[in-house]
């Protein structure tokens, strides 16, 4: 449950708008990856060993925190990235 708190914080700042509004799981993952990048062994040790791991093509990060949470000031965005 504690992993959800940053998402709730971001959605609260967006007046309840979902941070990652996908139409299905794959679409939602693509939105997440556009903001945070695709996890790799160097960014998340052991990710490829997870039971449901699925390899995704690496693609450039296309979203910014400014686009994702426009109502947060730089202190709020800094806090969100740290949690």
CATH architecture of 2-82: Orthogonal Bundle (1.10)
| pLDDT given at position 47 | 92
d(CA 19, CA 28): 10
pLDDT band for position 48 (cuts 50, 70, 90): very high
Q: Do 35 and 59 touch, CB atoms closer than 8 A?
A: no
**Domains in the chain: boundaries:** 2-82
Q: Tell me: the pLDDT tens digits for 8-31?
A: 888 888 888 888 888 998 898 888
pTM equals 0.68
- In this prediction, residues 46-75 reach a mean pLDDT of 86
Closest CA to 58 of 24, 33, 28, 29: 33
| pLDDT given at position 1 | 43
């Amino acid at each position: 449950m504690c992993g959800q708190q940053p998402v709730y914080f971001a959605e609260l700042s967006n007046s309840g708008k979902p941070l990652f509004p996908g139409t299905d799981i794959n679409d939602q993952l693509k939105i997440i990856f556009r903001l945070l990048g695709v996890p790799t062994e160097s960014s998340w040790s052991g990710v490829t060993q997870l039971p449901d791991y699925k390899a995704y093509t690496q693609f450039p990060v296309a979203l910014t925190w400014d686009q994702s949470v426009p109502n947060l000031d730089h202190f709020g965005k800094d806090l969100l990235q740290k949690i």
